[in-house]
Structure 1
Amino acid sequence: MNSPVKLAIIPFLLFITSAFSFAQESLIIQKNLGQINFDGHVDEEVWQSLPHLPMTVSTPNFGNEPSEHSEVMLTYDDEYFWVGARLYTKDPTTIIANSMKRDERSLNSDVFGILLDTYNDNENGYAFSTMPTGIRIDAAISNDGGSFRGVNQDWNTFWDVKTSRDDKGWYVEMRIPFSSLRFQPVGNTTTMGVIVMRYISHLNEIVTFPSIDPRYGQMAYLKPSLSSEIQLEISKTKRPVYISPYVIGGYQQNWSLNEAGTAYQKANKTTINGGLDVKYSVTSNLTLDVTVNPDFAQVEADNQQVNLTRYSLFFPEKRSFFQEGANIFDFNLLGMTRLFYSRNIGLSNGQPTTILGGARMYGSVGKWGLGLLNMQTDKTSINPGENFGVVRARRDVINPYSYVGGMFTSRIGTNGNKNLAYGLDANIRVKSTGDDYLIVKFAQTFDDNISDLLKQENEKHDNIFAYLGWQKRREEKLNFFANLKYTGQHFTPGVGHVQKQGLYGAFANISYGFMPRNEKSPIFLHGPTFRYDIEKRVIDDKMEWHVINPGWEFETKSGFEAEVDLRYEEQGVHWDFPIWDILIPQGKYAYTTFNVSLSNSSAKKLSYRLGSSIGTFYDGEGIQVELRPRWNVSSNFQLGAMYSFNVLRFPERETKDRLNIHMADLNALYMFNTKLSVSAFVQYVNTSKELISNMRVRYNPSEGKDLYFVINDARFLGDKTAVTPNYPPFYNNTVMIKYTHTFIL
């Protein structure tokens, strides 16, 4: 073999070798043979005998010795995984404790937490954390976390935490039942991944085990791929049955137009209902959920959103039945386009329908992740009953950070109409030690109604979605995400969500992060950003969307963030569309906006987010300002607000169209303790003159026992006599009480 050929083959062999080499040494966790008095003091003899995990600074000064000393210990017994932590503080008056809220979503206090990658798959996990007030915060991690999109804080499970404080610091004891975790033993040994995190709020300092380089971002402590392996000598655990009956009752008043559209008529409705959810761990890694007459009522109202685009809005799933195992059922195609969107279950033509019952099974078997779902809805006067089915499978391949998979969905009506869809996806880390990922997705849908219509018009069926992407996942130095995409005109997943149809194009988001490794520098990260996006219509190859968006981002070690960018945008409007009462005519538009956003650390007593933009807008001009202040009054009381102001002017039109959109909301939360809280939310938009309000009392003495008292109200605040028929005094008023009690057998 000649030398040039050898030189060509050697790098290739090195690449293959590194791509398949990922072994690491595991930390053996000692089993607890003593007694722990679960009180949050961490002073039992058991804790004294355990080794401490070595903690190092992740941010803001990576690799440094922590400013405050921490002693973190892990152990387990036949029933629980135990975590003990002594979080010493030189000056205890600097400990910040601003919340008693279950699942507090802001880093507004000191925090201690642990992430468990229970399948050791380097992609999914469960996070458990607390604050000095002893609150419970848990989340399901998917897609290797590291950002809010991969963190589902609506997920809850059974576990407990106790905390205590003295003049030396604060202390934590966590006990997490193995029955609340999903894991896959091999023989008598279970291997998991673990990350431990302490956030010292007044210093904006994050310390971790293992050592985590901030090049992956300040939320890298939620990335299972960065966890350290631990081993436990446990193969079988209790598999209890969770039986959760609920009862709900309420009174509702609705005003709606009569069939002739000549007047509003009032309908009063008193309801009382009940149902049952059952959860059973078939094995330590497979879970079965069964539901009969489930209650999918939301105890929080969806926020109104100002939509200045031609595309439909996306609202997140808040219903608890779909939370656990949501990562397995995730099939995100592009942006908010999904092959499976659970909010479609229980909706038909935009109207809610009764869900009679259903079942889900999800978990892992070997290298396979599996999910099965089937739900049945009742018929209404205008819609047939429907059956919803989902099958999801994915398998780890090549290295611990990669998978290939597929999904099949069905939506079949009792009238014979059906919508079927399938999808294939692959997420491949090119090297097991690298940051580069190859992402491939393909999907196709089949809808009876669309097929019949196309046959009548003799048109070709354009029902596929295709996607090819490459991503470098890091924040320091070069970071990019690029893809090619195609969405057919008739791509309509009946159990999914499509934001745009009939488009193809390319996208690139590139940034370069300068991360000074100088301890004295106040800057954590700064650097240029550049976004490019182009989409054309399949039907005529004309421009739909074209964006060129350079900018600069800046972040300090104290938590202050700023971003400025200049956005050039072209849009080809295929048909007229309204923004409230202003019509944007069909045509091609080009406009430019200058955008600025600022925010400070959420741990501050008064925190804020401020965003603004100014420039041209279609054939007019626009200014937008949005402010989100939050006041952490005390550990019992939080007050937040939002004000958004949009100014639209079209001076070149003969009609001189103009529009001012004011949207404001106010939210307050009072926490008597970690079990009882009262929250209130009010929102007003001047263009619709609608006021939406929500008040909620929650009593949660322990996981599985929940009492809610909720009042929702929506009403028109303008001149009710200005139009015919006159507006009613309100649109909707609901008073509801709900109680759920979980029995563990």
Structure 2
Amino acid sequence: MFKSYLLLFILLTPYWDCKAQINNQNQRQIEIKKINTSIQIDGKVDSIWSITHATTDFVNHRPSDVGLAKSQTEVKMLYNDQFIYILAKAYHSHQEHIIQNLKRDDYFSSDGFGVLMDPINKQTNGFFFGINSRGSQAESLITSSGGTDWNWDAKWYSRVTHHDTYWIVEMAIPFFTLRYNAKNTAWGINFLRNDLGNNMFSTWTSFPANFNDLDLGYTGSLSWEDDIPEVKKKIAMVPSMTTTTGKDFEQEKSTEWDFTPSLDAKIAVTSSLNLDLTINPDFSQIEVDRQVTNLSRFSLFFPERRTFFLENSDLFTGLGRSQISPFFSRRIGLSSGKNIPIKFGARLTGNLTEKLRIGMLNAQTERVSETKAQNYGLLTLKQRILKRSSVSGIFVNRQQVNTDENDYNRVVGTEFNYSTENGFVSGDIKYYKSFSDGIKGSNDFVSGSMFLNSRGYRVYTQFDHVGDNYLADVGFTPRLFNYDALRDTTVRVNYQRYSFFGTRDFRPASGPIVFHGPRIQSIIYTNDGNQFNERYSYIGYEIDFADQSQFDFSINSYTINLLFPTNFLDADSPLPARTYSYYDLVFDWDSDPRKLFAYGTVFTSGTFFNGKRTGLRSYLQYRFQPWLRLRLDHNYNQIELEEFGNEDIHLVGLRSEVSFSNNVFWTTFLQFNTQSTNFNINSRFQWRFAPLSDLFVVYTDNYFSDTFERKNRFISIKINYWLNF
């Protein structure tokens, strides 16, 4: 299968490239003039803006990608030695703006304006800066396929003012916020506009609706009048202080108020290469994970939230596959949900040359009880080839330190990621090997995929092979580890995965439906000698309405050759190892999310292994715009496995988000989970008293969900301040 993917790429790559569409940069260009003064960011149109012309004629992108936008936007740009200035005039035909809340980075759910910039102009990575019509900022790192990292923060300035038929956005983006080569005078750029009152999302350049809103392959051209300035401010320091107190009631241990200093630094090695350093980092302000109901046999993935691991994270998180990743940063400093102190960390990320990106990471953890001190390292190099393709090399290392034991794990690999210039065809080929002390053979991971994306259909195929001894200690490979409930042990079992997914999209020219069509999917797993292990098949139909509501239904079929006795429920005896076949029906409805009151539900009914399952997952949401958003989620599963256990599983989550202003927030999250027997309260107050400088007060309380006996309780106070040098 791997050889077939490789042969197909070699034979068809020239054909696909010659079919690529003409780049938007030939048709859409905006000039940016240099000024020798600064502009006060107050949302007012100062006379300095009259020296340049506005670009307009925004086009529809969603829900329709045909014609000029009903609500037009005009954009002007200027720059000096410190800032890129952007002035946008957004016309509207309705007085009431839709604002979900005032929190940072919540861009697409509210009326807003944004700019997408590709300073390298190679369609591989870029930056997005957006602001909603109430002035809340959002920024994100962008990858070649339109992937976003909203956890990235940057220091920039903006202001919004409102008028009868339009609103004004004024932005100042510091050059030191961006990663760029000053000698490269050709930048890719696009402007975006959310007009939710008219249910329209428009862009400056035109591209098909089936592509991501932030796709780097369809930018226009930013034309510089004069030389681009070099970055002058090259160092940012973020000192912080944290104090925590609390009690572990199970262990009967109390923690008195302690004061923990930490320091983060960002150093611009070059204008396109950044070094991040951290000493004694503290992540107590990070919001708790959303709990989930797990009815599978394997561990679930939880996203990284810690700020140190996030910038340019696509160099690290984009490796391997979902569920077969050679690097997963949550392996560093976390063990079985417990924090392991990180003594220091360093990351070097950015562009070495116009086409070569580097990602380098090293972190050292402390010894805690039986957990030995570890050093973690990662190096990845990504070379752009062709138009939107790349070749990468990866090395991951975990080494136990301060001990005589030779305990290590290393993974090396390479990837070829391909995309035509218009993004219609993409795919990849990946190969990895792991090395551990005393373990040899069957230690490889091989994978290939191909994706065809058009207005009318999408087709995706994938093949994976994971050997018994492919051990990625700093990665995420849950399916490799099979738990034998009878012997209370974990067994590594190699596997192959064959995947296919296809859709047919019908897009009516008018009417209440944006698109609809059938979806099919099939996934097959095999083990040694391609012996059958598991099959999942799905056939369904999706309907997306013009008001952003959605309905779909599906029939799902499963056949599983259970290799080991498994205990899904709290039963006296595990489900025996044999072949099971079962199915379920799923109905999914989501209402218009723009409304003050929104709701949705997913109903599941069918068989489950040797029994049956009924599930209902619902949510209710109400907004007191824009100050308060309340959301109630309930996930209920009734499972009956005859003599192997019957259980009703409830997961209830209640979330309130209070926005006192654009800089003061209070979020409270309650989670009641009968599967993990836990009731959690997490309340977080945040005051952004200066740009990227915050005061956090976080309260966490955990109880047993059946008895409501307290497990632990903690309160943390953290303050940090961003300094530029």
Per the normalisation by structure 2, the TM-score is 0.91
Aligned-partner residue type, residue 237 of structure 1 = V
Q: Indicate the residue corresponding to 2:127 in structure 1.
A: 126
Q: Secondary structure at the match of 1:140?
A: strand
Go from structure 1 to structure 2 and tell me whether the alpha carbon gap of 1:305 and 1:131 turns closer, same or farther (over 3 Å shift).
Answer: same
| Cα deviation digits, residues 486-508 of structure 1 (max 9, x gap) | 01112111221112121103101
Q: Indicate the residue corresponding to 2:533 in structure 1.
A: 544
Aligned-partner residue type, residue 525 of structure 1 = F
Distance 1:86 1:12 in 2: 43
Aligned-partner residue type, residue 563 of structure 2 = H
Q: Secondary structure at the match of 1:699?
A: strand
Q: Indicate the residue corresponding to 1:723 in structure 2.
A: none
Please point out which of 436, 439, 453 is paired with 1:473. Answer: 453
Please point out which of 521, 532, 540 is paired with 1:531. Answer: 521
Matched, 1:202 2:190: no
Go from structure 1 to structure 2 and tell me whether the alpha carbon gap of 1:404 and 1:44 turns closer, same or farther (over 3 Å shift).
Answer: same
Which runs of no fewer than 5 residues in structure 2 stay unpaired? 1-11, 481-493
Q: Indicate the residue corresponding to 2:711 in structure 1.
A: 731
Q: Indicate the residue corresponding to 2:564 in structure 1.
A: 575
How far is the alpha carbon of 1:388 from its aligned partner? 0.6
Q: Indicate the residue corresponding to 2:687 in structure 1.
A: 699
How far is the alpha carbon of 1:197 from its aligned partner? 0.9
Go from structure 1 to structure 2 and tell me whether the alpha carbon gap of 1:371 and 1:434 turns closer, same or farther (over 3 Å shift).
Answer: closer
| Cα deviation digits, residues 185-239 of structure 1 (max 9, x gap) | 33xx4322112111111221011111222132xxx32111111122333041223
Q: Secondary structure at the match of 1:701?
A: strand
Q: Indicate the residue corresponding to 1:629 in structure 2.
A: 620
Please point out which of 645, 659, 664 is paired with 1:671. Answer: 659
How far is the alpha carbon of 1:369 from its aligned partner? 0.8
Q: Indicate the residue corresponding to 1:142 in structure 2.
A: 143
Distance 1:529 1:128 in 2: 34
Distance 1:522 1:270 in 2: 59
8 Å CA contact retained: 1:40, 1:171: yes
Matched, 1:491 2:493: no
Go from structure 1 to structure 2 and tell me whether the alpha carbon gap of 1:65 and 1:398 turns closer, same or farther (over 3 Å shift).
Answer: closer
Go from structure 1 to structure 2 and tell me whether the alpha carbon gap of 1:527 and 1:104 turns closer, same or farther (over 3 Å shift).
Answer: same
Distance 1:170 1:32 in 2: 25
Alignment of 1:587-602 (within 5 A): 587-602=578-593
Alignment of 1:74-473 (within 5 A): 74-92=77-95, 94-104=96-106, 107-145=108-146, 150-186=147-183, 189-216=184-211, 220-232=212-224, 233-256=227-250, 265-348=252-335, 351-366=338-353, 367-399=355-387, 401-414=388-401, 415=403, 416-429=406-419, 431-433=420-422, 435-448=424-437, 451=439, 461-473=441-453
8 Å CA contact retained: 1:160, 1:174: yes
Q: Indicate the residue corresponding to 1:455 in structure 2.
A: none
Please point out which of 555, 574, 578 is paired with 1:566. Answer: 555
Distance 1:230 1:656 in 2: 65
Distance 1:362 1:409 in 2: 16
8 Å CA contact retained: 1:408, 1:420: yes
Q: Indicate the residue corresponding to 1:259 in structure 2.
A: none
Aligned-partner residue type, residue 638 of structure 1 = R
Matched residues, number: 692
Please point out which of 498, 506, 511 is paired with 1:506. Answer: 498
Distance 1:16 1:606 in 2: 47
8 Å CA contact retained: 1:298, 1:319: no
How far is the alpha carbon of 1:13 from its aligned partner? 7.6
Go from structure 1 to structure 2 and tell me whether the alpha carbon gap of 1:703 and 1:336 turns closer, same or farther (over 3 Å shift).
Answer: farther
| Cα deviation digits, residues 673-732 of structure 1 (max 9, x gap) | 111111111010234442101011100123331110000011114247xxxxxxxx3111
Matched, 1:32 2:8: no
Which runs of no fewer than 5 residues in structure 1 stay unpaired? 1-10, 257-263, 452-459, 721-728
Distance 2:675 2:446 in 1: 39
How far is the alpha carbon of 1:21 from its aligned partner? 8.4
Distance 2:521 2:706 in 1: 42
How far is the alpha carbon of 1:600 from its aligned partner? 2.5
Aligned-partner residue type, residue 104 of structure 1 = D
Deviates more, 1:431-440 or 1:169-178: 431-440
How far is the alpha carbon of 1:421 from its aligned partner? 0.6
Matched, 1:609 2:600: yes
Q: Indicate the residue corresponding to 2:512 in structure 1.
A: 522
Q: Secondary structure at the match of 1:465?
A: strand
How far is the alpha carbon of 1:16 from its aligned partner? 6.2
Q: Secondary structure at the match of 2:520?
A: strand
How far is the alpha carbon of 1:350 from its aligned partner? 6.0
8 Å CA contact retained: 2:90, 2:167: yes
8 Å CA contact retained: 1:239, 1:280: no
Q: Indicate the residue corresponding to 2:67 in structure 1.
A: 64
Q: Secondary structure at the match of 2:237?
A: strand
| Cα deviation digits, residues 86-128 of structure 1 (max 9, x gap) | 1122332x322342112226x4321211111222121322111
How far is the alpha carbon of 1:12 from its aligned partner? 9.9
Aligned-partner residue type, residue 102 of structure 1 = R
Deviates more, 1:108-117 or 1:618-627: 108-117
Distance 2:191 2:45 in 1: 17
Distance 2:23 2:474 in 1: 38
| Cα deviation digits, residues 304-357 of structure 1 (max 9, x gap) | 211000010111000011111111223432223211111111135764322111
Q: Secondary structure at the match of 1:669?
A: strand
Q: Secondary structure at the match of 1:428?
A: strand
Identity of aligned residues (%): 24
Distance 1:316 1:683 in 2: 18
8 Å CA contact retained: 1:42, 1:85: no
Distance 1:355 1:619 in 2: 46
8 Å CA contact retained: 1:639, 1:668: yes
Go from structure 1 to structure 2 and tell me whether the alpha carbon gap of 1:122 and 1:269 turns closer, same or farther (over 3 Å shift).
Answer: same
Distance 1:160 1:387 in 2: 39
Q: Indicate the residue corresponding to 1:7 in structure 2.
A: none
8 Å CA contact retained: 2:17, 2:421: no
How far is the alpha carbon of 1:184 from its aligned partner? 2.1
Deviates more, 1:35-44 or 1:315-324: 35-44
How far is the alpha carbon of 1:656 from its aligned partner? 7.3
Distance 1:328 1:718 in 2: 43
Q: Indicate the residue corresponding to 1:5 in structure 2.
A: none
8 Å CA contact retained: 1:250, 1:271: yes
Distance 1:13 1:494 in 2: 39
Q: Indicate the residue corresponding to 2:45 in structure 1.
A: 42
Aligned-partner residue type, residue 673 of structure 2 = V
Aligned-partner residue type, residue 524 of structure 2 = I
Distance 2:366 2:13 in 1: 59
How far is the alpha carbon of 1:24 from its aligned partner? 4.5
How far is the alpha carbon of 1:15 from its aligned partner? 6.0
Distance 2:53 2:23 in 1: 28
Distance 1:243 1:30 in 2: 32
Matched, 1:649 2:652: no
Aligned-partner residue type, residue 693 of structure 2 = K
Distance 1:528 1:739 in 2: 51
Aligned-partner residue type, residue 445 of structure 1 = S
